[in-house]
Structure 1
Amino acid sequence: MTTTSRADFDAAVADGHRVVPVLRELFADGETPVGVYRKVAAGRPGTFLLESAEQGGIWSRWSFVGAGARGVLSQARDTDGDRAVWIDYGLPVDRAFGAPMPREPLAAVAELYARWRTPPVEGHPPLTGGLVGFIGWEAVRQLEHLPEVPIAEVPVPGQALAFVSELIALDHRTGTATLIAAVLNDGEETSDVAWRDAQSRLDVLQDALAQPTPAELADVDLTVRAEPRARVEAAAYQDAVVRSKDFIRDGDVFQVVISQRFDHELTASPLEVYRVLRALNPSPYMYLLSLESDSGEPYSIVGSSPEALVKVQRGRVFTHPIAGSRPRGESPERDLELAEELLADPKEQAEHLMLVDLARNDLSRVCAAGTVEVTEFMQVERFSHIMHLVSSVEGDLRADRTAVDAFRATFPAGTLSGAPKPRALEIIDELEVAQRGVYGGVVGYFDLAGDADLAIAIRTATLVGDTAYVQAGAGLVADSDPVSEHVEAQNKAAAPLRAVAIANAMRRIGRS
């Protein structure tokens, strides 16, 4: 059992670990991730649920439930542009940063990460703390000079990263729950005080986990149809496709991704939407983030993304370009036919190759010379309702670079922008009517031990008040058909919109 002893804790403190995770492992094979989230997080701001399903809908080994945060690194906008905002949940901003907080939001992320970097500990779960949340699409303006700034219509900040204080790691292989309390080792408390505080916080988590909760039973009508309001008319989106093709024909770009937003009435809770989405569309990256703005307005991010932007693990950087898709076949024979059709499609091949080259170029900016390689090329990867062409590109992170640098080098994803990126971003600003918000950004974590796992925010709903916002796009090339690309964007938005509609119509049975 992985439980931190006092001797282990004292040794980590003496070794200068900036953040010391204190673990208590319990046998909890009867608990589910959703049930644990309901018990210990209950939708409080700064909490989260992260899950993963592999190909074929098989659930992955780990789920993570964030039960508390010391603060959230968010952002706001004033007359001088975007600025970082620290939302204090018990950790004052001067202690969080040890110096004045940088104004630029991404610079603040880098500073907070650098201040609390700590060596890895063997045998721990893959996530024991750090920064968990999202960085939205508009972060591109901190990385590229973009003269146009579209209007912001979705009322959420441009980023929100919770500095985790307590979480639970659920190991589905062993049936254990590891309760984790993160201790800040910056000399503000004695080791005795810090140890007692960590044990007290673990006791609170354990007591909450031990409480019985009523079953959440419901009648679910899977025939319910989503009825979203499109932000732009079909004709306007198709006109944007035509204008994009003009840019491509003129040599401005090879490809550009133009998206559109769909708004849907929301009466269900964020957790209900997440429960339905994880059942409808199990994916490698599933997430529920419960957050609030600096003015206290609550919002949630719910998603089921198939695609990572970048992953850093033990000094190795991974990216996983996905481009090209077909629906799953109704029979094994039809499924194979569709896969062969996908592999033979020259348009899909050209688009995919372009993104693989882009990924190699991005990784070369932060990886050691000669280490970037394509380890998997144009393979068919199957999910519950769709199959994709995927490749894998890897490299060794340079010693003078961090996981935050890896994010900056790879963001935004070529699958959400186009190529070349700088001009594609300008075209997106010109043709899309509003800011993208969370869509096209990333959701995931920066572990303070040096790792990171960041999903691209697609198949994602932003839930604010009585509205769910869902955005999706299509990768446009020279021979794109405007009507087909409009349908593709609608299809990509379908899963989260359907989850919202079904969750709205769910009828609870018994106590709620």
Structure 2
Amino acid sequence: MKTYPLTTHYKKIIADTITPVSIYLKLRDKFPNSLLLESSDYHANDNSFSYICCNPIASIKVSNENITKVYPDGNQEIITIDTDTDVSQQIHLFSKCFERDQNEFKFINNGLFGYIAYDAVRYFEDVEIQKKKGSLEIPDIYYAIYQNIIAINHFNNEAYIFAHCNGNESNIDEIEHLLKVKNFAAYNFSIEGDITSNLNDEEFKQNVEKAKQHCFRGDVFQLVLSRRFSQKFKGDEFNVYRALRSINPSPYLFYFDYGDFKIFGSSPEAQLVVDKG
């Protein structure tokens, strides 16, 4: 297994006049496919960090029963998923391909950033998932390693610019220059047509009745029924994220830009917390 050494460079800056949103807006045109992980819980030092990740150098994607790994040197590996494929092990092996510098920081400054969709449960549990017509055609799992990570400590009004380099020079000065720029491009947003849904009211009620029967039989102890609403639009979808964080302010917010699709949301609590490794 080939390994890719990553040399870490960093610089600390004062962050009392910048916000995660303003940083993201200044970087996204120069570095497309960037991520924003935002925390608004500044009361304790443990949960006071926001992160902007940009400049992806490697990725692992699970889509259409294939695992696609892309490495910093441009090499690509595709694995067809069958009954013997351990998806979680493949993700673990991918992460082990990168040798990172050890550092003294207690907060996240490198690693895999991305998401796992609900339908990916079939790769970890004996659950059969049948995608229906109209399902979103996005990867079940997508993780990437980013050359640049900006970690913002809201508690101390500090930010750290990291550059994880695989044989190339650090671009910290370039990013710091972009952060000092006072202006950034703004794009309009407008909706088109009416809101549509994948279920009508009667179909959703039928699903509720089915869920109640499963509960009565003891098949499950909890079910979360969802209904997808869609709205056509023109312009910049990041404006929707900005509206969401205003309408539904939460301690944890995220906006992931993958080019062809975006994922964003807000949550009142962390789903998973890892303490001391």
- The TM-score with structure 2 as length reference comes to 0.81
Q: Deviations over 1:118-147 (max 9, x none)?
A: 57532x261212111111111111112334
Instruction: Letter of the 2:183 partner, please give it.
Output: T
Gap change, CA 1:160 and 1:178, over 3 Å in 2: same
Matches of 1:277 and 1:138, distance apart in 2:
25
Q: Deviations over 1:293-317 (max 9, x none)?
A: xxxxx111111122333221213xx
Matches of 1:108 and 1:288, distance apart in 2:
26
Instruction: Letter of the 2:165 partner, please give it.
Output: V
Q: Deviations over 1:344-373 (max 9, x none)?
A: xxxxxxxxxxxxxxxxxxxxxxxxxxxxxx
Structure 2 residue aligned with 1:203: 173
Instruction: Letter of the 2:245 partner, please give it.
Output: R
Q: Conserved in 1, the CA contact under 8 Å of 2:25 and 2:184? A: no
Gap change, CA 1:312 and 1:143, over 3 Å in 2: same
Deviation at 1:35, TM superposition (A): 1.4
Q: Conserved in 2, the CA contact under 8 Å of 1:46 and 1:162? A: no
Matches of 1:253 and 1:214, distance apart in 2:
50
Instruction: Letter of the 2:26 partner, please give it.
Output: K
Q: How does 1:322-337 map to 2 (within 5 A)?
A: none
Gap change, CA 1:23 and 1:204, over 3 Å in 2: same
Matches of 1:63 and 1:211, distance apart in 2:
20
Instruction: Letter of the 2:270 partner, please give it.
Output: A
Structure 2 residue aligned with 1:309: 271
Structure 2 residue aligned with 1:114: 96
Matches of 1:278 and 1:29, distance apart in 2:
20
2:66 aligned with 1:83, yes or no? yes
2:112 aligned with 1:131, yes or no? yes
Matches of 1:147 and 1:167, distance apart in 2:
37
Instruction: Letter of the 1:255 partner, please give it.
Output: Q
2:238 match: secondary structure: helix
Q: Conserved in 1, the CA contact under 8 Å of 2:63 and 2:139? A: yes
2:262 aligned with 1:300, yes or no? yes
User: Which stretches in structure 1 are left out of the alignment for 5+ residues?
Assistant: 1-16, 95-99, 293-297, 316-512
1:138 match: secondary structure: helix
1:259 match: secondary structure: coil
Tell me which of 162, 165, 171 is aligned to 2:147: 165
Structure 2 residue aligned with 1:248: 215
Matches of 1:117 and 1:234, distance apart in 2:
52
Instruction: Letter of the 1:231 partner, please give it.
Output: N
Tell me which of 46, 51, 62 is aligned to 2:49: 62
Deviation at 1:103, TM superposition (A): 4.4
Worse-matched range after superposition: 167-176 or 133-142: 167-176
Structure 2 residue aligned with 1:289: 256
Tell me which of 180, 198, 206 is aligned to 2:162: 180
Q: Conserved in 2, the CA contact under 8 Å of 1:72 and 1:162? A: yes
Q: Conserved in 1, the CA contact under 8 Å of 2:187 and 2:235? A: no
2:18 aligned with 1:31, yes or no? yes
Matches of 2:107 and 2:263, distance apart in 1:
22
Matches of 2:57 and 2:187, distance apart in 1:
34
Instruction: Letter of the 1:134 partner, please give it.
Output: Y
Gap change, CA 1:308 and 1:243, over 3 Å in 2: same
Structure 1 residue aligned with 2:204: 237
Gap change, CA 1:285 and 1:273, over 3 Å in 2: same
Q: Conserved in 1, the CA contact under 8 Å of 2:51 and 2:152? A: yes
Q: Conserved in 1, the CA contact under 8 Å of 2:8 and 2:100? A: no
Q: Conserved in 2, the CA contact under 8 Å of 1:48 and 1:65? A: yes
Deviation at 1:258, TM superposition (A): 2.4
1:25 match: secondary structure: strand
Gap change, CA 1:279 and 1:215, over 3 Å in 2: farther
2:174 match: secondary structure: helix
User: Which stretches in structure 2 are left out of the alignment for 5+ residues?
Assistant: 82-86
Matches of 1:207 and 1:119, distance apart in 2:
25
Deviation at 1:238, TM superposition (A): 0.9
Q: Conserved in 1, the CA contact under 8 Å of 2:49 and 2:153? A: yes
Matches of 1:125 and 1:65, distance apart in 2:
17
Q: Conserved in 2, the CA contact under 8 Å of 1:43 and 1:290? A: no
Deviation at 1:50, TM superposition (A): 1.0
Tell me which of 106, 110, 122 is aligned to 1:141: 122
Deviation at 1:71, TM superposition (A): 2.5
- The number of residue pairs the alignment matches comes to 264
1:165 match: secondary structure: strand
